[in-house]
Amino acid sequence: MWPTRQCDASQALSLFLRTGMAPDQSVNLVTWYADGGLGLKGPLPGRENDIASVGFGYAGVGQAARAADRDAKLPVRDYEAFIEVNYTVTMAPWWTLQPDLQYVIHPAFGAANPLPTAKANVTIPDATVFGLRTTLTF
């Protein structure tokens, strides 16, 4: 049995989902994109204004860009995706801190690694990104 917890009026669950598309022409690298996520306000007792969130995103590269990569004999770019987790801490009514963790899958859509020490046609490796955002409201 899963443990249950009584929700109070200070808690809220939010969900978002969005998508976009662009014509597959030589000017559009990304021809479609989708992302989504969940946010929970008041996830911990006594922290009614904090927000815990998780999200994901995926961008697909169009056929025109893929064909250009094949013609140039480069690694063929195809997609980039990410998973993100963050927690917004309300330090004061006018100040928040938001630590953020992202895992980026196939950075730069699988493009060749530009570092001089990288082997030819080796792609950029997946990346873990840590961040911290602060907001001051006056």
State the CB neighbour count (10 A cutoff) for residue 54.
14
**What would the pLDDT profile of 19-34 be if each residue is shown by its tens digit?**
999 998 878 899 999 9
Q: Is 52 exposed, middle or buried (0-12, 13-18, 19+ CB in 10 A)?
A: middle
Backbone angles phi, psi at 117, to 5 degrees: -85, -10
Token pair in block for residue 40: 């929970």
Cα dihedral: 57, 98, 42, 93 (round 10):
-140
Which residues touch 134 (CB under 8 Å, ≥6 apart)?
Answer: 95, 96, 97, 98
32 DSSP β-pair partners? 21, 60
Give 122's pLDDT tier (boundaries 50, 70, 90). confident
- Helix, strand and coil content of the chain, in percent to the nearest 5, comes to 10, 50, 40
In the chain, the amino acid numbered 32 is: W
Domain extents for the chain? Answer: 12-136
**What would the pLDDT profile of 29-75 be if each residue is shown by its tens digit?**
999 999 999 999 999 999 999 999 999 999 999 999 899 989 998 88
